[in-house]
Amino acid sequence: MSEQPTLLLAKSIVKSFGATSVLKSFDLSVRPGEVHAFLGGNGAGKSTFIKIISGQHQRDGGTLQFAGRDLGGSSASPADTGEIAVVNQELALLPHLSVAENIAMPRMQRALGTYSERASRALAIDALSLIDPQFARESVIRLVGELSLHERQLVEIARALRSGARLLLLDEPTANLTAAETGRLFAVIRRLVAETSLAVLFVSHRMREIRQIADVCTIIRDGKTAVDRAPLNAITDREIVDYMGQSVEPDQQTEVSLEAASDLREGHDTSHDNRGTAQRPIIVRLDDIELEIRPGAIVGLAGAPTGPLALIEALTGLGPKSRWDIERAGEPVKHRGPSGAARAGVGYISGDRANKGILATLPIIDNLMAARRIVERKKIARDEELRQGQALLDALKIRAGSLWHLPSTLSGGTQQKILVARWLNLKPKLLVLEEPTRGVDIRTKREIYALVRKLARQGTAVVWWSTEYLELVELCDTVLAFDLSGRPTGILRHTDVSEESLASATGMAA
Ligand SMILES: Nc1ncnc2c1ncn2[C@@H]1O[C@H](COP(=O)(O)OP(=O)(O)OP(=O)(O)O)[C@@H](O)[C@H]1O
Ligand SMILES: [Mg+2]
């Protein structure tokens, strides 16, 4: 084993963005036939490094070798020749083309072949079947723009798996997948690794997953290699967290800092109107399921996306023709679109960060203030916005160059914090969250839990959809479970909420 030659060798890699120095002297090496976990906190530089290897960013210094060749200069990059395939953290499919076209196009180009629709479809079905044969048959002729985030993730992964590459770079590929899909992905990876000596560099913040799939890990911290190729069976979770620089007692800290941020709202509080209805639970009904969502409760939604998303659409005004009946204080609730819902006190954090959450062309300050502007429907003084924006960055420990920078200058997990920050000061009556800790590191996850718990204590009813059962077990007192076809199957309460019970109620193994 130890005699395996190195496939990728990165030495002393340096990279800055303007004044932000990200990689300071970073080393990493990958051998054929291994699954290599690449770990580090949000903003540590993982995606930046992956983009350097795949030729999307230029390094400022250091040496890179792939299969014994030096990379850089005029030689064709292995990403162009197809020897390296990448699934980026923010997906990169062409929305106006079909699934088949998206999967087949890169290979057609390489072979300089003519485009055959039939061949492309066959190729795409073949690729997608690795992960989900039914989805493969149903989806090939659909336009990518019509797919859900989760479906797009499957397409992107399938494309990479079928690429024939020698090194696969997977930047948080499982963040949008259900446990069952993750299981199938891992099975395919294991097979390819065993049969073709494929090497995989795998980024994830989910410790359990890392242990399931990876052989060794490299940890990045402060732009340098903190741990170099440690076998995972020789390093504990605690050590990993320590090396990432994440071992603090975050709950206490966050409590204090949110207090500070919400002080700014004294005197602007709009949440004490119609007290009467504000205190009443929301009741949601479908077929023989009836669930009460009380102020202060954190209600979990579990299961494959179809079911939870239909209820979320009904709650947030996105799906006016929903089959769900929603009622508060004996009155049916029908929101006219998400902004109507927002004004009625419903906060919503979409799981589709890139397309439905972050406003990519507007600076961070506008992203932070988006919800408040919609809710209050009046011009807010710039000074006040800037003051509050800065307070939110401080409270959530968001490292941003400036409030005027674009969100694309923030790492994936940090962008997620911005979405949560939007609602913090508004004290919504109901806050609906879709996978709010997707791509978020261990410490930030704790911070988001603490923030949401705090909102709940202030009287906000919370609805939280997660594909991570452990998260629902930790946070929720009540969980509504859905089966694979999207039907609600039952309500679990208190001690009944466990990973095992959720797995059996949703038909998806944990
Ligand atoms: N295009 C850019 N311009 C300016 N700064 C950037 C740019 N891209 C990344 N950065 C900064 O580089 C640092 C590393 O970001 P990167 O996305 O590599 O982190 P990451 O380890 O992938 O984090 P996450 O776990 O949140 O995805 C962050 O501080 C980020 O703000
Ligand atoms: Mg990243």
Would you give the DSSP letter of residue 98?
A: B
For residue 249, the model assigns a pLDDT of: 55
Of 385, 348, 379, 374, which is closest to residue 265 (Cα–Cα)? Answer: 385
DSSP H stretches of helix in 435-491: 442-457, 469-475
Q: Is the pLDDT of residue 263 over 60?
A: no
Whether 318 contacts 434, CB under 8 Å: no
Q: Is the pLDDT of residue 266 over 50?
A: no
Residue-averaged pLDDT of the chain: 86
Question: Considering the domain boundaries, does residue 435 fall inside one?
Answer: yes
Q: Whose CA is nearest to atom 13 of ligand 1?
A: 43
Instruction: Please work out whether the CB of residue 223 comes within 6 Å of at least one atom of ligand 1.
Output: no
Quote the percentage of the chain above a pLDDT of 70: 90
> How much helix, strand and coil, in percent to the nearest 5, is found in the chain?
40, 20, 35
Q: Is the pLDDT of residue 277 over 70?
A: no
CA of 410 to the centre of ligand 1 (A): 5
Domain with 98 in it: 8-244
Of 181 and 26, which is predicted with more confidence? 26
Instruction: Please work out whether the CB of residue 203 comes within 6 Å of at least one atom of ligand 1.
Output: no
- Local confidence band at 268 (pLDDT 50, 70, 90 cut-offs): very low
What number is the average pLDDT over the span 458-475?
Answer: 93
Ligand 1 pocket test target in 176, 220, 411 with most atoms within 8 Å of CB: 411
Q: Is the sign of the CA dihedral 95, 99, 101, 105 positive or negative?
A: positive
Whether 10 contacts 53, CB under 8 Å: yes
What number is the average pLDDT over the span 351-355?
Answer: 83
Instruction: Please work out whether the CB of residue 45 comes within 6 Å of at least one atom of ligand 1.
Output: yes
Q: In the structure encoding, which two tokens stand for residue 190, read together?
A: 């294991």
For residue 105, the model assigns a pLDDT of: 77
In ligand 1, the atom with minimum distance to the C-alpha of 40 is 21
Q: In the structure encoding, which two tokens stand for residue 60, read together?
A: 């400022």
Q: Whose CA is nearest to atom 29 of ligand 1?
A: 43
Residues 103, 54 share a domain: yes
In ligand 1, the atom with minimum distance to the C-alpha of 401 is 31
Residues 184, 109 share a domain: yes
Residues 232, 307 share a domain: no
Question: Considering the domain boundaries, does residue 502 fall inside one?
Answer: yes
Residues 278, 227 share a domain: no
Tens digits of per-residue pLDDT, 39-90?
999 999 999 999 999 989 999 999 999 998 888 766 677 887 789 999 988 7
For residue 271, the model assigns a pLDDT of: 42
For residue 193, the model assigns a pLDDT of: 93
Residues 132, 13 share a domain: yes
CA of 412 to the centre of ligand 1 (A): 7
- Local confidence band at 265 (pLDDT 50, 70, 90 cut-offs): very low
Question: Considering the domain boundaries, does residue 33 fall inside one?
Answer: yes
For residue 252, the model assigns a pLDDT of: 44
What number is the average pLDDT over the span 9-24?
Answer: 95
Question: Considering the domain boundaries, does residue 172 fall inside one?
Answer: yes
Ligand 1 pocket test target in 13, 14, 20 with most atoms within 8 Å of CB: 20
What number is the average pLDDT over the span 11-36?
Answer: 96
Radius of gyration of the chain (CA): 23
Of 485, 345, 492, 366, which is closest to residue 418 (Cα–Cα)? Answer: 366
Q: How many CB atoms lie within 10 A of CB 494?
A: 8
Instruction: Please work out whether the CB of residue 42 comes within 6 Å of at least one atom of ligand 1.
Output: yes
Question: Considering the domain boundaries, does residue 366 fall inside one?
Answer: no
Ligand 1 pocket test target in 16, 38, 47 with most atoms within 8 Å of CB: 47
Contact residues for 337 (Cβ-Cβ < 8 A; gap 6+) = 317, 318
What number is the average pLDDT over the span 285-305?
Answer: 93
| Residue with tokens 């109107």, as numbered in its chain | 273
- Ligand with an atom nearest the CA of residue 43: 1
d(CA 314, CA 332): 12
Instruction: Please work out whether the CB of residue 88 comes within 6 Å of at least one atom of ligand 1.
Output: no
Whether 108 contacts 124, CB under 8 Å: no
Q: Is the pLDDT of residue 259 over 70?
A: no
Of 102, 96, 222, 101, which is closest to residue 153 (Cα–Cα)? Answer: 102
For residue 182, the model assigns a pLDDT of: 85
CA of 154 to the centre of ligand 1 (A): 24
Question: Considering the domain boundaries, does residue 71 fall inside one?
Answer: yes
Instruction: Please work out whether the CB of residue 414 comes within 6 Å of at least one atom of ligand 1.
Output: yes
Residues 209, 283 share a domain: no
Q: How many CB atoms lie within 10 A of CB 184?
A: 16
| Residue with tokens 């202060």, as numbered in its chain | 296
CA of 42 to the centre of ligand 2 (A): 7
Residues 276, 231 share a domain: no
Residue-wise DSSP of 305-330: THHHHHHHHHHHTS-TT-S-EEEETT
Instruction: Please work out whether the CB of residue 246 comes within 6 Å of at least one atom of ligand 1.
Output: no
Tens digits of per-residue pLDDT, 417-452?
899 999 988 989 999 999 999 888 888 888 889 989
Residues 182, 143 share a domain: yes
Question: Considering the domain boundaries, does residue 471 fall inside one?
Answer: yes
Q: Which helix (H) or strand (E) holds 12?
A: strand 8-17
Instruction: Please work out whether the CB of residue 409 comes within 6 Å of at least one atom of ligand 1.
Output: yes
Q: Give the best-scoring range by mean pLDDT among 160-164, 248-252, 428-432.
A: 428-432
Residues 78, 168 share a domain: yes
Tens digits of per-residue pLDDT, 382-418?
999 999 999 999 988 888 889 999 999 998 888 998 9
Instruction: Please work out whether the CB of residue 310 comes within 6 Å of at least one atom of ligand 1.
Output: no
Ligand 1 pocket test target in 409, 437, 438, 445 with most atoms within 8 Å of CB: 409
Q: Is the pLDDT of residue 250 over 90?
A: no
CA of 114 to the centre of ligand 2 (A): 36
Question: Considering the domain boundaries, does residue 190 fall inside one?
Answer: yes
d(CA 95, CA 93): 6
Amino acid making up residue 301: L
Q: Whose CA is nearest to atom 3 of ligand 1?
A: 409
For residue 269, the model assigns a pLDDT of: 39
Residues 146, 39 share a domain: yes
Instruction: Please work out whether the CB of residue 23 comes within 6 Å of at least one atom of ligand 1.
Output: no
Of 423 and 149, which is predicted with more confidence? 423
The mean-pLDDT minimum among 100-114, 123-137, 311-325, 388-402 falls in 100-114
CATH number at residue 233: 3.40.50.300
Ligand 1 pocket test target in 410, 438, 445 with most atoms within 8 Å of CB: 410
Residues 215, 316 share a domain: no
Tally of domains within the chain? 2
Residues 179, 54 share a domain: yes
- Local confidence band at 9 (pLDDT 50, 70, 90 cut-offs): very high
CA of 101 to the centre of ligand 1 (A): 30
Tens digits of per-residue pLDDT, 180-222?
778 888 988 998 899 899 999 999 998 889 999 999 999 999 9
CA of 79 to the centre of ligand 1 (A): 21
CA of 433 to the centre of ligand 1 (A): 24
d(CA 370, CA 358): 10
Instruction: Please work out whether the CB of residue 437 comes within 6 Å of at least one atom of ligand 1.
Output: no
What number is the average pLDDT over the span 340-344?
Answer: 90
Of 107 and 501, which is predicted with more confidence? 501
